[in-house]
Amino acid sequence: MSLELIANNKVHGGWHKRYSHKSTVNNCTMTFAIFLPPGVDETAKAPVLYWLSGLTCTDENFMQKAAAFKTAAELGIILVAPDTSPRGEGVADDPEGSYDFGLGAGFYVNATEEPYKQHYQMYDYICTELPALIDEHFPSNGKKAISGHSMGGHGALVIGLRNLGQYTSVSAFAPITNPLNCPWGEKAFSGYLGKDRESWKAYDSCELLSHTPADKCPPLLVSQGMSDNFLESQLRPERLVAAAEQADVSLCLEQHPGYDHSYFFISSFIDQHLRFHAQYLS
């Protein structure tokens, strides 16, 4: 599969690059960004941290606002940030054009409902198509971890927990932990997956974690700002803690007083998350 380079910037001794490519699973052109730390090449390969962004974001928000490059360069970690949904002509959006469904809000699921199923196959895109592309075109050493924010934190937890053994570690900032039972999740899952709530369970991190064998669970780190406006209405980290207790799995939940839902919060703790992943990736 061929890639088209659309941006190229030297940063902290490494390279930030943006590419577009034809996605077979999403049936449209997709864009992603990658950071290549200094010194990586075919003879010195590096592990990859996949970053899943939240509602309204593209591949650009994390790269421009998270302040992750200096530490990723130091640790020798490749960062990959995909877009949050398919886009382009013919890609269905929310009929009301709202921010929490449709474009910029793919929720990292494989849609089964019309008219979304033609393009919204973000689960397969993140789990299969994108890693294959990264491994084909860049010097990745085959080890990967996953992280994300809010809707992307939900995506990271779900993908890490459904693919045990594939991601060395999983982390999330302010994740939507229980989309089965919160307004953002109920709206998105009804639209993408239909009325049968049983089919939603495969995309709910609380549901998945409560059934995860403790000896197979990847190391988990979750950071949550305590002044986050969405904490009680949408995020509910205490439900993830309860699921971890049910499965006897260890989950590190860090609660940070005063922090909100923004990239001010993410940029304050991204170094900690990178160092957490580096322990298992190296």
Quickly count: other Cβ atoms within 10 Å of residue 147's Cβ: 32
User: Does 277 participate in catalysis according to the annotation?
Assistant: no
Which residue is catalytic, options 154, 261, 273, 277? 261
Cβ within 8 Å of residue 109, ≥6 positions away: 120, 122, 123, 188, 189, 192, 193, 203
Q: Which CB atom, from 159 or from 249, has the smaller least distance to ligand L2ATEBXI?
A: 159
Q: How far apart are CA 42 and CA 266, in angstroms?
A: 31
Dmax over Cα atoms in the chain, in whole Å? Answer: 50
Nearer to ligand L2ATEBXI, 181 or 262 (CB): 262
In the bound complex, what is the minimum distance in angstroms from residue 180's beta carbon to ligand L2ATEBXI?
Answer: 16
Asked whether the beta carbons of 225 and 256 are under 8 A apart, the reply is: yes
Closest CB 52 distance from ligand L2ATEBXI, rounded Å: 10
Peptide bond into 115 cis (omega under 30): yes
Rounded alpha-carbon distances, angstroms, from residue 83 to 94, 130, 200, 278: 17, 11, 22, 24
Specify the residue, 8 or 264, whose C-beta has the smaller distance to ligand L2ATEBXI: 264
Which listed range, 1-9, 23-31, 145-153, 161-169, lies at the site for ligand L2ATEBXI (CB under 6 A)? 145-153
Question: Which residues 146-165 are close enough to bind ligand L2ATEBXI by CB under 6 A?
Answer: 149-151
The interface mask with ligand L2ATEBXI, positions 54-83, x = CB under 6 A, is: xxxx---x----------------------
Known catalytic residue at 228: yes
Q: Is 63 helix (H, G, I), strand (E, B) or coil?
A: helix
CB of 54 to ligand L2ATEBXI, least distance (A): 2
Shortest distance (Å) from residue 62 CB to ligand L2ATEBXI: 9
Question: Per rule CB under 6 A, is residue 27 in the interface with ligand L2ATEBXI?
Answer: no
CB 159 within 8 A of CB 110: no
Q: In the complex with ligand L2ATEBXI, which residue's Cβ is closer, 123 or 263?
A: 263
Pick the piece of the chain touching ligand L2ATEBXI (CB under 6 A) from 122-130, 134-142, 211-219, 257-265: 257-265
- What is the DSSP pairing of strand 78-82 with strand 220-225? unpaired
Residue of 150, 169, 205, 223 with catalytic role: 150
What is the token pair recorded at 278?
């580096």
Q: Closest separation between CB of residue 229 and ligand L2ATEBXI, Å? A: 8
Q: Which amino acid is it at 259?
A: Y
Q: Which residue is listed with tokens 């509602």?
A: 55
Cβ count near 88 (within 10 Å): 12
Q: Where on the chain is the footprint of ligand L2ATEBXI (CB under 6 A)?
A: 54-57, 61, 149-151, 230, 261-263
**Residues acting as catalytic residues:** 150, 228, 261
